[in-house]
Amino acid sequence: MTAIQRSNLLVRSSNSAIIKSMTQNKLILLPRPAARGRFSLEETIAKRRSVRTFSRGQLSPVEVGQLLWAAQGVTAKPGNFYFRSAPSAGALYPMEIYTVTESGLHRYLPEKHALELMMERDLRNDLSIASLGQEPVREAGLDIVICAAYERPYSRYGERGKSYVDMEAGHIAQNVHLQAVALGLGSVPIGAFDDVQVGKILGLPDGQYPLYIVPVGHVG
Ligand SMILES: Cc1cc2nc3c(=O)[nH]c(=O)nc-3n(C[C@H](O)[C@H](O)[C@H](O)COP(=O)(O)O)c2cc1C
């Protein structure tokens, strides 16, 4: 789907022992994110490179939790409001983050720092096919899919709101890439995929669109 088509649509409308991970009502509470890492910010920027070859193996809950915190975790809570790790025009936070792993499809809930189970099926192969067969999507332990609900930015900012959402996806993806480096992992931004196919595979609700896929995995 092209940006114009999307715009038109809008107009119309383990480790488990060391962590406190527990499953309750299909919610997986993620471990509290670390506030310090092994590398300086400057080192992570200098080390970041697109990595397209991963060794087999799943990511630990600690790693998944840290990556999702970097993507959209809550970093300040003045009163009843939740600010997240990446900037958002008007603090509208129109993004939904999904994880695709061996164990299934989950949605990240920033305020709970938890994963909600959406589908108990490994969708990485389907996602890779929808991404022009790109291997990193199939081979990564974790695919983070950044999706957007354009409605609120669109109603506040009009056409400009669409650009704001797309810009925000870049902020989120870069946070994930840098966090991956800081964890000793590799990642690559994937923009080449069939939006409609990816939406179907993930079962996205009306009004949500996939913008970016970030495979993350072990290197070497
Ligand atoms: C918007 C965007 C989309 C991209 N899509 C893909 C992609 O579909 N597949 C891929 O292998 N790399 C993709 N890349 C990664 C670029 O190829 C990569 O960033 C570039 O070659 C520079 O290398 P570096 O990331 O190691 O600095 C994308 C990068 C951006 C910013």
CATH number for the domain spanning 47: value is 3.40.109.10
Q: How far is the CA of 187 from the centre of ligand 1 (A)?
A: 10
Low-confidence ranges of the chain (pLDDT < 50): 1-24
- 110-141 burial by CB neighbour count: b if 16+ within 10 A, else e? beebbbeebeeeebbebbbbbbeebebbbbbb
Q: Whose CA is closest to atom 21 on ligand 1?
A: 50
Q: What's residue 160's pLDDT?
A: 97
DSSP E strands, the chain: 23-24, 27-29, 74-76, 83-84, 95-101, 104-109, 114-119, 142-149, 185-187, 208-218
Residue pLDDT, tens place only, 106-154: 999 999 999 999 999 999 999 999 999 999 999 999 999 999 999 999 9
Nearest Cα residue to atom 14 of ligand 1: 189
Number of domains in the chain: 1
CB 188 within 8 A of CB 52: yes
Residue-level pLDDT at 81? 96
State pLDDT tens for residues 209-219: 999 999 999 99
Distance 190 CA to ligand 1 centre (A): 6
Nearest CA to ligand 1 atom 15: 189
**Residue 25: per-residue pLDDT:** 52
Give CA angle at 215 (210, 122), nearest 5°: 80
Print the domain residue range for 82. 3-218
Residues with beta carbon inside 6 Å of ligand 1? 49-50, 52, 134, 188-192
Collapsing DSSP states into helix, strand and coil, what is residue 190?
strand
